[in-house]
């Protein structure tokens, strides 16, 4: 579907009794817990954040700023530099020291 359809479905979910119950369950799971560790994983299209809680549970988070396109835009120079670490033979001659 399209963005507006997705947004409308999410609004419907959030106002529904079932959606409210699901969100309340997540709230209960997190409220009062302490984050004891944070880890990151490569999920192909984004970097995910996993919160490790003091009760042994984990909470998986995605953030728009960790989307591959956002990372490419914000960290272009770092990605170029690291690319040549992986493939030094591809580095243009004029860039060699």
- What was the pLDDT predicted at 23? 96
Beta strands in 4-66 (DSSP E): 35-42, 47-53, 58-61
List phi, psi (to 5°) of 17: -60, -40
pLDDT in tens, the chain (97 residues): 578 998 999 999 999 999 999 999 999 999 999 999 999 999 999 999 999 999 999 999 999 999 999 999 999 999 999 999 999 999 988 765 6
pTM exceeds cut of 0.75? yes
Q: State the Cα–Cα distance between residues 96 and 77, nearest whole angstrom.
A: 16
Give pLDDT, residue 94.
76
Question: What is the number of residues in the chain?
Answer: 97
Predicted confidence at residue 97, as pLDDT, reads: 62
């Amino acid at each position: 579907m399209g963005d507006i359809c997705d947004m409308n479905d999410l609004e419907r979910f959030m106002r529904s009794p079932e959606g409210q119950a699901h969100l309340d369950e997540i709230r209960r799971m997190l409220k009062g817990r302490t984050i004891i560790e944070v880890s990151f994983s490569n999920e192909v299209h984004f970097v995910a954040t996993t919160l490790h809680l003091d009760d042994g549970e984990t909470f998986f988070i995605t953030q728009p700023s960790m989307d591959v396109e956002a990372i490419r835009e914000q960290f272009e120079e770092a990605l170029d530099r690291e690319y040549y670490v992986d493939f030094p033979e591809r580095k243009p001659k004029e860039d060699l020291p």
